[in-house]
Structure 1
Amino acid sequence: MKLYTIKKHNILPIDLEQAWIFFSNPRNLQKLMPEDMKFEVKSELPHEIYTGQLIEYKVSPFKGFNTKWVTEISHVERLKYFVDIQLYGPYKLWHHKHFFKEVEDGVLVEDLVHYRVPFGLIGEFLHPSIIQPKLDSIFKAREKNLETIFGIIKK
């Protein structure tokens, strides 16, 4: 099974503390996802993540397909990075690192995702035509929503 990688980065016109407060609150993930995914946090949550935290979501990655997604926050270093891994959900593997760094124009937010597709050879076959375009649209919506929330961003 192939291991796929997504690398994204944006510079937000805010300070490091503001970025951390926003991204480390799992409820804000709903604000970043495309509306058609019907993304919903199901867990009771504190305002900031912590190592070992389990978070349950409901998501509809494709019309007519609803699933539960459970992630664990496996690592947290406040104001620097956190990592979430999928324990249950639509991917065979999902490992998402979020990095934050103060830069001249604001805060550099970097995402590094490693994932494997579900359904074996069928998933590999569907990756270029369905799965990859869906992930591209999710990150594009995320960027657009970040710009709406924080103002003009740089890449």
Structure 2
Amino acid sequence: MKTYRLEFEHKLPIPLAETWDFFTSPLNLAKITPPQMGFEVTSPYDANSKVYEGMIITYKITPLFGIKMDWMTEITHVKEHQYFIDEQRFGPYALWHHEHHFEEIKGGVNMKDILYYAIPYGAIGKLANSILVANEVNKIFTHREQAINEMFGVYKG
């Protein structure tokens, strides 16, 4: 099975505590996910819930072709104000390991996402990744960056 690695960085002009508070709330993920994905957290969490090791988060998503599916991730590691990791327990990928890193820098925070993923179905999965999936994953993170910029008043010129 071929594993793919993507890395994304984003600088935010807000304090680390505010950044951490936003990204560790499971319900905020829907706010930065492309609307066409129909992303909905189905776990019984509220706006005050924060990630913790062992937390299971369930979702409904529509990743491709309007097909709705269930997705479950587990928060496997948390180091306060530094990083947390979510891993798929079931869903559309053969592997999904997503590291969220936060580093305080002058004027704000540098966020880094490191994503490892794999597509099932062997050679067909490799082909699907090269034709479609890699592009869709990149679109998700591009949308996320734009949504975050709008939410936190970051304007790139």
Band the TM-score falls in, shorter-chain normalisation: over 0.9
**Matched positions, count:** 154
The answer for the alignment partner of 1:86 in structure 2 is 88
Alpha-carbon distance, 1:66 to partner = 1.2
Preserved CA contact (<8 Å) 1:57 1:69: yes
The answer for the alignment partner of 2:9 in structure 1 is 9
Counterpart among 40, 54, 57 of residue 55 in structure 1: 57
The answer for the alignment partner of 1:109 in structure 2 is 111
Alpha-carbon distance, 1:153 to partner = 6.1
Pair 1:24 & 2:38 matched: no
CA distance in 2, matches of 1:139, 1:151: 18
1:15–1:4: structure 2 CA closer, same or farther, 3 Å change rule?
A: same
Stretches of structure 2 that go unaligned for 5 or more consecutive residues are none
- In the TM superposition, what whole-angstrom CA distance separates every residue of 1:59-105 from its partner, at most 9, and x where no partner exists? 00012211111000000011110000000001000000000010012
Instruction: Give the TM-score normalised by the residue count of structure 2.
Output: 0.95
The answer for the alignment partner of 2:149 in structure 1 is 147
Preserved CA contact (<8 Å) 1:11 1:105: no
- Within 5 A, what are the aligned runs for 1:60-139? 60-139=62-141
- In the TM superposition, what whole-angstrom CA distance separates every residue of 1:91-127 from its partner, at most 9, and x where no partner exists? 0000000000100121011000111112221111111
Alpha-carbon distance, 1:143 to partner = 0.5
Give the letter aligned to residue 98 of structure 1: H
Instruction: Give the TM-score normalised by the residue count of structure 1.
Output: 0.96
Local SS of the residue matching 2:63: strand
CA distance in 1, matches of 2:41, 2:126: 29
Preserved CA contact (<8 Å) 1:11 1:153: no
Stretches of structure 1 that go unaligned for 5 or more consecutive residues are none
Sequence identity of aligned pairs in percent?
A: 40
CA distance in 1, matches of 2:66, 2:105: 42
CA distance in 2, matches of 1:10, 1:153: 12
CA distance in 2, matches of 1:49, 1:92: 23
